[in-house]
Amino acid sequence: MIKITLPDGSVREYEKGATGYDIAMSISEGLARNVLAAKVNGEVWDATRPITDDATVQLLTWNDTEGKSTFWHSSAHLLAEALEELYPGVKFGIGPPIDNGFYYDVDLGDQEFGEDDLEKVEQKMQELAKNKSEYTRTEVSKADALKYFEEKGDEYKIELIRDLEDGKITFYQQGNFVDLCKGPHVPNTSFIKAVKLMNVAGAYWRGDEKRKQLTRIYGVSFPKQKELKEYLERLEEAKKRDHRKLGKELELFTFSEKVGLGLPLWLPKGTVLRERLENFMRKAQIKAGYDPVVTPHIGSKELYVTSGHYEKYGEDSFQPIKTPNENEEFLLKPMNCPHHCEIYKAKPRSYKELPVRLAEFGTVYRYEQSGELHGLTRVRGFTQDDAHIFCRPDQVKEEFIKVIDLVLYVFKALGFDDYTAQVSLRDPENKTKYIGEDAHWDKAEREIQEAADERGLTTVTELGEAAFYGPKLDFMVKDALGRSWQLGTIQVDYNLPKRFELEYTGADNQKHRPVMIHRAPFGSMERFVAVLIEHCGGNFPLWLAPEQIAILPISEKYQEYAEKLHTILSERDIRGSVDNRDEKIGRKIRDAEVKKVPFMLIVGEKEQNEERVSVRKHGQGDLGSMPWAEFVDHFQQESALNLN
RNA sequence: GCCGAGAUAGCUCAGGGGUAGAGCGCUUCCUUGGUAAGGAAGAGGUCGGGGGUUCAAAUCCCCUUCUUGGCUCCA
Check residue A223 and report its DSSP letter. S
Catalytic residue IDs of A: 337, 366, 384, 386, 388, 472, 518
Per-residue pLDDT of A309-353, as tens digits, reads 998 888 788 899 999 999 999 999 999 999 999 999 999 999 999
Alpha helices in A1-46 (DSSP H): 20-27, 29-34
Is A337 annotated to bind a ligand? Reply is yes
Give the closest nucleotide to A486 (alpha carbon vs C1').
Answer: B74
Peptide bond into A184 cis (omega under 30): yes
Is A518 annotated to bind a ligand? Reply is yes
CA-to-C1' span, A115 to B15 (A): 21
Cα separation of A335 and A362, whole Å? 8
Is A388 annotated to bind a ligand? Reply is yes
What are the domain boundaries of chain A?
A: 2-61, 66-233, 254-295+355-536, 549-643
Residue nearest to nucleotide B6 (CA to C1'): A115
Check residue A378 and report its DSSP letter. B
Cα separation of A446 and A442, whole Å? 6
Per-residue pLDDT of A213-231, as tens digits, reads 999 999 999 999 999 999 9
CA-to-C1' span, A256 to B45 (A): 20
Contacts of A306 by beta carbon, 8 Å cutoff, 6+ apart: A338, A499, A500
Q: Which fold has domain A2-61?
A: Ubiquitin-like (UB roll) (3.10.20)
3.30.70.250, 3.20.20.140, 3.30.930.10, 1.10.10.10: CATH of A254-295+355-536:
3.30.930.10
3.40.50.300, 3.50.50.60, 3.30.980.10, 3.40.640.10: CATH of A66-233:
3.30.980.10
Residue A195 has pLDDT above 50, yes or no: yes
CATH number for the domain whose boundaries are A549-643: 3.40.50.800
Contacts of A284 by beta carbon, 8 Å cutoff, 6+ apart: A406, A409, A410
CA-to-C1' span, A168 to B70 (A): 33
Check residue A354 and report its DSSP letter. P
Do the beta carbons of residue A603 and residue A561 sit within 8 Å? Answer: yes
Q: Give the start-end residues of each E strand in A274-340.
A: 291-292, 298-300, 321-322, 329-332
Domains A2-61 and A549-643 belong to one CATH topology: no
Residue A363 has pLDDT above 50, yes or no: yes
CA-to-C1' span, A120 to B18 (A): 35
Residue A641 has pLDDT above 70, yes or no: no
Cα separation of A223 and A231, whole Å? 12
- pLDDT value, residue A447: 94
- Name the average pLDDT for chain A: 93
Give the closest nucleotide to A209 (alpha carbon vs C1').
Answer: B72
Question: First CA to last CA across chain A, in angstroms?
Answer: 68
Residue A420 has pLDDT above 70, yes or no: yes
Q: Which nucleotides of B are covered by protein (CB under 7 A)?
A: 1-5, 11-12, 26, 29-38, 65-75
- pLDDT value, residue A644: 45
